[in-house]
Amino acid sequence: MFDKIVVPLDGSELAEGVLPHLAEVIRGRESRVYLLSISPLLRRTTPSAVDIQPVSATMPDDLPGVMRELMEYLRAVAEKLKTVTADVWIGVRFGRPADAILAFADEVSADLIATSTHGRSGISRWVFGSVADRLLRGASCPVLLVRAGGRGAVTAPLPYQGILVPLDGSELAEQVLPYVKALIRPNRTRIFLSSVLTTGLGDRTVALLTSYPPGMQLATTALHHAEVQLRVYLRSVANALRDRGAAVHIAIRQGSPADEILVYAAEVKADLICMTTHGLSGTSRWVYGNVARKVLQGAHSPVLLVRPISERGGSET
């Protein structure tokens, strides 16, 4: 897991903000990193790709200017990563950025795409915000999204000491857990398992249910029963993570799932949020498709999003 990682870069410091997080993911692993730049320019006058090659390879003398500039840039970035990995390959593709990144990730059988959520380059002029959204919709591997913060020159690892993992009790949501386990540093990592209870009813209906003693009793009993079920479930998940050497905390909250996830992430100062793009629980009835988007938009920490297997081959909701 995390053996082959594709890192799209557009030449900007904003895009390079992903590098410290990449360094943390690959620390202690024998990972191969593919630094990839996409140029939508000169599509009719240049090859469709510059072959991915080790940093030590010699660049051909006949590379056109744009390609040579991009390759030299990627080579410089690769030098920054020498302290964390020696297995770095670089390459250039031409075409629509998201499509080219997805095609390349499939080509090398990547098990992670790590990218900044925003960036703009004077070379390729592609905007990461829209690209990141398309990567989430089309990637067959997890995507690590880092909010651009201007730390591009830093390549030292940023430890993920606190990882928030929202779960709704469904098997779809649980597909994030193998990746969480892979990120655990024994006796250093704290995992915050969280689930959010929501009635799935409109505010007016909830108000009517809780306005009179009979309705209040019904709502209170149902919520209490759901909370007991979720607590038992989260404890079972926590035991498996503790076996990997993590300290695990569980929390059950009530309200809007995305809002509660973001508030809890701020409260525990989470270094990373790990979740699947989709999930549906028979207990809390919240759908990850919308939740994941809202969390990504509002999170100040990086977000690792895993697209469940059943969603990769089927239609998204």
**Statement: residue 124 has pLDDT above 50:** no
Same domain for 40 and 98? yes
Instruction: Give the per-residue pLDDT at 317.
Output: 39
| Residues 131, 249 within the same domain | no
Domain harbouring 279, CATH code: 3.40.50.620
| Domain edge (last residue) among 98, 120, 146 | 146
Whether 26 is in a domain gets the answer yes
Query: Can you tell me the distance from the alpha carbon of 190 to that of 265, in angstroms, rounded to the nearest whole number?
Result: 13
Mean per-residue pLDDT over the chain, rounded: 80
Domain presence at residue 100: yes
Q: Are residues 118 and 203 in the same domain?
A: no
Write down which residue in 146, 176, 195 finishes a domain.
146
Give the list of residues 6+ apart from residue 215 with CB closer than 8 angstroms, or none: 208, 209
Q: Are residues 133 and 226 in the same domain?
A: no
State phi, psi for 21 to the nearest 5 degrees: -75, -35
Same domain for 194 and 297? yes
Range of the domain at 27: 4-146
Q: Are residues 197 and 103 in the same domain?
A: no
Q: Within this chain, do residues 183 and 306 fall inside the same structural domain, yes or no? A: yes
Within-domain flag for 152? no
Q: Specify whether 86 is located in the same domain as 214.
A: no
Number of separate domains in the chain: 2
pLDDT at 219: 58
**What pLDDT, in 10s, does the model give residues 203-228?**
444 444 444 454 444 456 777 788 88
Pairing of strands 303-306, 143-146: antiparallel
Whether residues 66 and 101 share a domain: the answer is: yes
Whether residue 157 is contained in a domain is answered as no
Are 165 and 130 in contact by the 8 Å Cβ rule? The answer is no
CB 161 within 8 A of CB 191: no
Of the ranges 45-49, 157-161, 301-305, the best mean pLDDT one: 301-305
Q: Is the pLDDT assigned to residue 120 strictly greater than 70?
A: no
Same domain for 233 and 166? yes
The verdict on residue 122 lying in a domain is yes
pLDDT at 242 over 70: yes
pTM of the model: 0.81
Position 232 in a domain: yes
Q: Which of 92, 111, 146 marks a domain boundary?
A: 146
- For residue 198, what pLDDT is reported? 77
Residues 179 and 141 in one domain: no
Indicate if 77 and 11 belong to the same structural domain: yes
In this predicted structure, the answer to whether residue 156 has a pLDDT above a threshold of 50 is yes
